[in-house]
Amino acid sequence: MDVIDIAWWKLALASGLVLLLAAFTYFGHLGMTRSLLVAALRTVIQLALIGLVLEALFANAGVLWVILLAIVMLLVAGREVMARQNRRLTGAWAFGLGTGAMFVSSFTVTIFLLTVIIGPNPWYAPQYAIPLLGMILGNAMTGIALSLDRLTEAVWRQQSVIESRLMLGQTWREAVGDIRRDAMRSGLIPSINAMAAAGIVSLPGMMTGQILAGSPPGVAVKYQILVMFAINVGAGFGSVIAVNLGSRRLFDERERLRLDRLEKRSGT
């Protein structure tokens, strides 16, 4: 079955639904009108640009170009993780911690899928590598941002409780043990909910896209199962790495709580 193309003017027509929602948020005084419109505009610009980049990349499928695009994706995701935290670590840690956790979890899972499970030739084939990395990286970004935000906010609010535990002889791990567990759970909840509801409440994006493109539903289902597993593993291990590194950073070598290593995001 041929893929039905969508004319640009029809996409402009669909944007009217976003404008309708923006009008509702404006007259309802929800304070989200500007954010909604900016996000919609960014969606159009970013996806249009990445479409051009991918067309050029598919035509010149060199491993260096794939690596370069993957690094750009990672750096942008690291910036988003930092921007989504109300309180974040000071200095390079604010960017480096989330970025490093995403690199270890997302890139490891993606390379495993490409080399062991799917096996395209070459293994870095961009039509497989870039979409897979994008889905895994995007969900890991959300999970890590949520877990770090929960960690830093809870530590800030429970300063007296943590310091009391330290004075009673607990180690820093014991003093923030419940906070770390809650932070890790918050990073896992979105991907677990998506996996639990897949196929019943919703048809996931990759499966829907493959079916619309004419792939047999059975093939689309297998790919979607693979992607859902990979997303959960990437987000889960990314959250665990980020929370462990982030919580250790909040204590010095003498295991004293160091809230001066946190800063509140400007404009909040």
Mean pLDDT, the chain, whole residue set: 88
Domain identity same for 37 and 80: no
Coil vs helix vs strand at 203: coil
Q: Per-residue pLDDT averaged across 36-56, rounded?
A: 87
Q: What is the pLDDT of residues 21-35, one digit of tens each?
A: 999 999 988 888 998
Domain identity same for 44 and 172: no
Of residues 202 and 133, the one with the higher pLDDT is 133
Strand partners, 87: 264
Strand partners, 21: none
Domain identity same for 54 and 73: no
Domain identity same for 136 and 196: yes
Do residues 59 and 70 make contact, with C-beta atoms less than 8 angstroms apart? Answer: no
End-to-end CA distance of the chain: 50
Domain identity same for 46 and 85: no
Domain identity same for 109 and 80: yes
Domain identity same for 74 and 159: yes
Domain identity same for 238 and 139: yes
Domain identity same for 134 and 47: no
Neighbours of 265 (CB within 10 A): 14
Which of 139, 145, 229 minimizes the C-alpha distance to 190? 139
Output the pLDDT for position 224: 84
Domain identity same for 129 and 175: yes
Which of 138, 237, 137, 228 minimizes the C-alpha distance to 187? 237
Q: Could you say which of 19, 41, 59 is where a domain stops?
A: 59
Range of 236's domain?
63-264
Domain identity same for 125 and 22: no
Residue carrying structure tokens 């093939």 = 219
- What is the total count of domains within the chain? 2
Q: Which two tokens stand for residue 117?
A: 């499970």
Q: Which two tokens stand for residue 176?
A: 């923030």
Output the pLDDT for position 2: 58
Confidence band of 268 (pLDDT split at 50, 70, 90)? very low
pTM comes to: 0.81
Any idea how long the chain is?
Answer: 268
Domain identity same for 222 and 145: yes
215, pLDDT greater than 80: no
Q: Could you say which of 14, 43, 59 is where a domain stops?
A: 59
Q: What are phi and psi of 263, to 5 degrees?
A: -135, 145
Q: What is the pLDDT of residues 145-173, one digit of tens each?
A: 999 999 999 999 999 999 999 999 999 99
Q: Could you say which of 11, 29, 59 is where a domain stops?
A: 59
Confidence band of 141 (pLDDT split at 50, 70, 90)? very high
